[in-house]
Amino acid sequence: MNREFSDEAVVKPDVEAFYDEQTNTFSYVVRDPDSSACAIIDSVLDFDYPSATVSYQGADRIIDYVRSNRLTVEKLIETHVHADHLTAAPYLQRALGGEVVISEHIVTVQQTFAELYNEKADFARDGSQFDRLLKDQQQYKIGKMTALALHTPGHTPACMTHIIGDAAFVGDTLFMPDSGTARVDFPGGDAHTLYQSIQLILNLPDDTRLYMCHDYQPQGRGVEYLSTVADQRDNNIHIKKDIAEQDYVSMRKARDKTLGMPRLILPALQVNMRAGYFPQAESNDTVYLKIPVKGLR
């Protein structure tokens, strides 16, 4: 993997990060330095689980930033179907425009979770809730910049890394070097696949800026979101350059057995597989989300 896909690949886009403390999630506004065009990556909808209440503080911060800088939103990018937060893409689209995009492998995720949630036949399983489905190695434009969608499954089947100039947005595939890599115990996850996907990222030029989707602040350090390929290759505690695939796979499987489920996984998957739209309101004008129950006797 290199930057030969575009003469503009060495462009340095302007990147503004927005941190959601409740879900440890970073959203990004990525701007073409030669125009007003931008993309929003991995937005967050505020959701209070105990009261099942939606609010928009985080998304409104992004809207204020875009409007105050007179930017034009062309893309609302989802790196994958998130299990730890709900996307604010529809809300942002209504306010700012732009097309909502995700990997074409969203159809695999929809088919899997439609069965889990016993969705009715009217739930589309073809990705049509999104405006655009991207293929592996597909190029797209943000203003004058040419971006590249790189399929990097393993955490989920629909994970994509988006390479925009000298920056790459890796979703949950990688964390900061002292935090390691993504879990693989969700449906469709696979440690071997994730290892191979990460090699694609680590084969990018050493100085490629890597933007994380999450940071969990091990040992209480401050919040961080920016790394480089060289830093990850040399220092990532799970997958630095001297770690063999089978050793990584064994570690990843053992570690995942110790992890609890994300707090918002049940509402997040139902909403995010719909491109951020909630199920239709029922006859009492109330929207409901399902909770599959296990272990009943």
Beta bridge partners of 169: 162, 211
Task: Please tell me the pTM assigned to this model.
Answer: 0.94
Beta bridge partners of 30: 15, 39
Radius of gyration of the chain (CA): 19
User: Token digits for 243?
Assistant: 């770690």
Asked whether the predicted pLDDT for residue 52 surpasses 80, the reply is: yes
| pLDDT in the model for residue 242 | 86
pLDDT tens for each residue of 109-142: 999 999 999 999 999 999 999 999 999 999 999 9
Q: How confident is the model at residue 265 (pLDDT cuts 50, 70, 90)?
A: very high
Asked whether the predicted pLDDT for residue 8 surpasses 90, the reply is: no
| pLDDT in the model for residue 79 | 98
CA 203, distance to chain mean position in Å, is 20
Neighbours of 64 (CB within 10 A): 10
Asked whether the predicted pLDDT for residue 78 surpasses 60, the reply is: yes
Mean pLDDT along residues 199-211:
97
- Strand 14-20 and strand 25-31: the pairing is antiparallel
Residue matched to tokens 């209440």: 53
Residues in contact with 280: Cβ distance below 8 Å, sequence separation at least 6, in sequence order: 287
Mean pLDDT along residues 195-203:
97
Q: What is the DSSP string of 26-94?
A: EEEEEE-TTSSEEEEES--BEEETTTTEEE-HHHHHHHHHHHHTT-EEEEEE-SS--SSSB--HHHHHH
| pLDDT in the model for residue 2 | 47
Mean pLDDT along residues 1-28:
80
pLDDT tens for each residue of 216-238: 999 999 999 999 999 999 999 99
Count CA within 13 A, CB hemisphere, residue 30: 33
Neighbours of 10 (CB within 10 A): 10
Percentage of the chain exceeding pLDDT 70 = 97
| pLDDT in the model for residue 139 | 98
pLDDT tens for each residue of 31-50: 999 999 999 999 999 999 99
What is the CATH code for 14-267? 3.60.15.10
Asked whether the predicted pLDDT for residue 192 surpasses 70, the reply is: yes
pLDDT tens for each residue of 164-185: 999 999 999 999 999 999 999 9
- 10 Å CB burial of residue 22 (0-12, 13-18, 19+) is middle
Residues, the chain: 297
Q: How confident is the model at residue 6 (pLDDT cuts 50, 70, 90)?
A: very low
Asked whether the predicted pLDDT for residue 73 surpasses 80, the reply is: yes
| pLDDT in the model for residue 10 | 82
User: Token digits for 55?
Assistant: 């609010």
